[in-house]
A and B are shown apart, each in its own frame.
Chain A
């Protein structure tokens, strides 16, 4: 069964360092997303991406964050200069169609720990 894969599963970094989280969405999907969950809190929307550009982003997704689809298969989230409060589980998701009835398929998540 096709699945969304994410790497790394866990990354520990020092505050101020750049981090890149990688995702391989399901191959025929066209819409891509990043969500995050700070420990004990809700899963929060960060950004959606379609046709090689951001289609929507949340207030959390400030200038420190960027997304890219560099090669037609990977979908990356970059955090330019990590802060302690960026420590969270980051989930990538993809979907085949747009619209409120479309199903999002999620990866297992990448846990980021900022020291």
Chain B
């Protein structure tokens, strides 16, 4: 079945550091790929998405590129801020819109 694997957390960085959170997936066909973010005390919010190979999703300085050859969708940001502290979830979806999530990565940014 479909599955998503994220890098283990927690991840702690200093402000302005470069961020990478790895995500790989297993799926038949061509799923859509998503990054969701959960800020403290809030629900899951869509951060970015990509629906076909080589697409790049971007939002709020975050980027992720759909790499079919490596079945990956790594999340990157060039310079993180304290306000980026949250839990990040990689997810995929096929046809029926049911999302399959990774385990989440807790990110803490220190000033």
A residues contacting B by CB (< 8 A) are 3-4, 6, 31, 35, 41-45, 48, 55-56, 91, 93, 95, 98-109
Contact = CB atoms under 8 A, between A and B. Distances in A.
A95 B97 contact: yes
Contacts of A105: 43, 46
Contact of B98 (A48, A103, A108, A109): A48
Contact of B44 (A48, A91, A98): A91
Contact of B32 (A44, A98, A101): A101
B32 A43 contact: no
Contact of B31 (A41, A56, A95, A100): A100
A91 B43 CA distance: 8
A19 B93 CA distance: 29
A26 to B, nearest CB: 12
Contacts of A48: 96-98
A6 to B, nearest CB: 8
B31 A43 contact: no
B13 interface: no
B32 A45 contact: no
Contacts of B49: 101, 103
